[in-house]
Structure 1
């Protein structure tokens, strides 16, 4: 059963139970009140009844307005009816169509004291009487029975029952209608959420549910669902991007490996077809096979390094002085490109905790990247500094810089900002990917920005260590 149906049934059931309890209470209260009034009337009319049956008066008689059909009987010692009076226009009529059916034993009490009133059936089987009896001293202790018909009370109670039924039906119908409208309005946000959930299930992860507010229960549910959807959308986007990067990595890796393998196969064919008869061709083939093998091994080693770092494998950790690493990298670069102006700005030791070999690889790749991708006489500036418990290394060049869309992908494997460069001069495109992976494994970050005046500046930030190297 739907939530709407359960709520509607619950509200109607609650209304029915409330009305039933209320109606029963009103009916019982009115019944007790009316019967109590009849009982008081019978106790007050004892002298009037006795006088009507022929007893001498004890004083002034207070007349009681007994209802039509009231019966007063004087019973003999053997229980037979000695005298009977009925109310038509006051006591006096002896012809009665309906009389009370007396019990076999009457609960009469002391002399001139009426018994507690009780209800008996009438001779017609439909009318009920409220009766009492007492032993009357003026008749020598004979019993007087007084029975008042409850016809008026029963008529009043039947009218009350009909009124209560009609009112209850109206109240239940109105309650059901009002509850239906309120439930419809209250569940409208849930229906909208269901529609949005269906669209999300169909693949539209950008949809959000409404309402999303902290003021209502459904609104708070909307806030929680929207937060969850945001996380799901981000997770799916990350997974999609990761799958895209993986496919691109596999495609690029296959392409990069195919090139040296094709060269090795070609030179192997040259040797097989007779290059061995020409010493020059034989030397060229063997040299090229060796060079391509070395290149392929280096490429595989780089890919394995990136894979290990992505898996979170721990690196060797010890105190490393970035000033010494930068000095060695600058010296190596000056030896390779003596015509360049390569400067170092590292005034004091900067110690971090990390892998010395991998950090040297980071700075070496950044410097080599500047050497390869800038004109031969373009200056390069290397700097090492500290700021707010962070070690910072930077390599700045004054070359052509990066294209506007390259900064976001520059650290992706096999990406080349200048695709026109050959792999021999530009590398496989793994250098900056290794830089990013190594820096991330050390808990740092790497960024690229435009150099003032033109060019690119790569900045590496690493957490400082409190100890100094020995």
Structure 2
């Protein structure tokens, strides 16, 4: 465990490839070591068991040889052919060695007193024991007794140990060669497997060097398609990185678009506010310098200052209304009959634009009742009618239709005027968008700030509806669609009046 801990500690600070190769090598080393140890232990068990069996057979053979041996040759059976070199036999007197011999290459040889002393004390119970005999090495021994005669037999263990040592050396050599080959193959395989990850890392580095703090952010580098296979871990990383880059690019584009919109809005608002402020300042100066000299009538100057103040106040109130609608502040929620509301708005518009032909059409399959703020909904209709009246010449027919179908109520304001140019349609509901250049303004009509349609769209969206426009020369139609009271959701994001 200590060696494994040191190896794992060395993994810190290395590259991923080195870590993977080292982990593979450690795993393979552990497996090979476990297999080698298991093989050696099993082999040693079987060899010792075989040696024990041969020792037992030798003891039994010594008893039989003693019975058939000539007088005075108690261990004469050792001279028989087939005896293994190193076979040891002894005749015991109690637990003392009376006589003992060992088979050598030159035949049986008697043991010395010291060697015999090492064999003393072995009981004749047939149990296998291991003793070290001076000059002969380790022996596996057993003693058996029959007819009052005890015989001891033994075989050397050194042969078994040499075989086990040879097995360990062979397995170590094979394991070493295998580890070298496996490490090499693992290194090549890991390098190939990590190539896509290196490409993913290169993509991330390239994106990190992109100037994201300025200019238009687009065309950021993506992970190549071959490295975005969701079936692999590296491919999943590539897919996640591409999604992150897409999100970053989109977010930065949206932020840039919002900043550009804000700059344009501030510029337009400043311009619109500067005009009445300049008029107020001019008339105030004229009043200071011209009243005494009777160059200007005070009533006229005050009336112009009041008109410009009212214009500036209306512009500021419209901007505040748009800001509140964008914040989603809750509005008054009441049941509103759109047929009655539109009828009143058309009547007011007819009084203001008597030189236009007005027509109201009701197509109601169900009561045109919606949930919302009556004053704000009236403002939506009034703005659309004012837009149609102001931007069309005298004699234009303006048809207002209220119809219900499929749980919604639609208010359509259609005129047969010159229409909205195609290049203006995408931004017709934007702030400070004016179509005076394309749609004829009624003579003497005051110029608006270009917020009427923007306010109408914002109020409609706050009521859960939508406003659309369809325009061509000779026909322009604005459509406001709102959910009926029975189909509206419990929560409506409106703002207080």
- TM-score tier, shorter chain, comes to 0.7 to 0.9
Comparing 259-268 and 225-234, the one that deviates more: 225-234
Q: 1:359 aligns with which of 366, 377, 401?
A: 377
- Is 1:245 aligned to residue 277 of structure 2? no
Match of 1:302 in 2: 318
Q: Give matches, 1:209-358, under 5 Å.
A: 209=223, 211-220=227-236, 222-224=238-240, 226-227=242-243, 229-278=245-294, 280-348=296-364, 349-358=367-376
Q: 1:240 to 1:165 in 2, by over 3 A?
A: same
Q: Secondary structure at the match of 1:399?
A: coil
For residues 95 and 42 of structure 2, what CA distance do their matches in structure 1 show?
40
For residues 189 and 95 of structure 2, what CA distance do their matches in structure 1 show?
72
- Is 1:131 aligned to residue 148 of structure 2? no
| Distance apart, 1:5 and its partner CA | 4.2
Match of 1:112 in 2: none
Match of 2:419 in 1: 401
Q: 2:128 aligns with which of 97, 117, 142?
A: 117
Q: 1:38 to 1:135 in 2, by over 3 A?
A: same
Q: 2:409 aligns with which of 375, 385, 391?
A: 391
Match of 2:89 in 1: 72
- Is 1:378 aligned to residue 396 of structure 2? yes
Q: 1:190 to 1:391 in 2, by over 3 A?
A: farther
- Is 1:11 aligned to residue 28 of structure 2? no
For residues 157 and 13 of structure 1, what CA distance do their matches in structure 2 show?
25
| Distance apart, 1:227 and its partner CA | 4.6
TM-score norm. by structure 2 comes to 0.80
| Distance apart, 1:409 and its partner CA | 1.9
For residues 314 and 428 of structure 1, what CA distance do their matches in structure 2 show?
26
| Distance apart, 1:309 and its partner CA | 0.9
Match of 1:25 in 2: 38
Q: Give matches, 1:88-107, under 5 Å.
A: 88=105, 92-94=108-110, 102=118, 105-107=121-123
Q: 1:167 aligns with which of 137, 156, 174?
A: 174
| Distance apart, 1:108 and its partner CA | 2.4
| Distance apart, 1:400 and its partner CA | 3.2
Q: 1:303 to 1:55 in 2, by over 3 A?
A: same
Which digits, 9 at most, give the CA deviation of each residue in 1:172-213, with x for residues without a partner? Answer: 233333333443344444333333333444446755445445
Q: Secondary structure at the match of 2:425?
A: coil
- Is 1:429 aligned to residue 440 of structure 2? no
| Distance apart, 1:104 and its partner CA | 5.2
Unpaired runs of 5+ in structure 2? Answer: 1-11, 488-497
Q: 1:40 to 1:281 in 2, by over 3 A?
A: same
For residues 226 and 78 of structure 1, what CA distance do their matches in structure 2 show?
87
Q: 1:338 to 1:274 in 2, by over 3 A?
A: closer
Paired positions, count: 453
Match of 1:462 in 2: 482
Comparing 20-29 and 189-198, the one that deviates more: 189-198
| Distance apart, 1:230 and its partner CA | 4.2
| Distance apart, 1:265 and its partner CA | 1.0
| Distance apart, 1:424 and its partner CA | 7.0
For residues 386 and 36 of structure 1, what CA distance do their matches in structure 2 show?
101
Q: Secondary structure at the match of 2:354?
A: coil
Whether the 8 Å CA contact 2:119–2:133 is kept in 1: the answer is: no
Q: 1:384 to 1:99 in 2, by over 3 A?
A: farther
- Is 1:82 aligned to residue 99 of structure 2? yes
For residues 402 and 103 of structure 1, what CA distance do their matches in structure 2 show?
123
- RMSD, matched Cα: 3.4
Q: Secondary structure at the match of 1:316?
A: coil
| Distance apart, 1:316 and its partner CA | 1.3
Q: Secondary structure at the match of 2:426?
A: coil
TM-score norm. by structure 1 comes to 0.84
| Distance apart, 1:159 and its partner CA | 1.8
Whether the 8 Å CA contact 2:196–2:234 is kept in 1: the answer is: yes
Comparing 278-287 and 407-416, the one that deviates more: 278-287
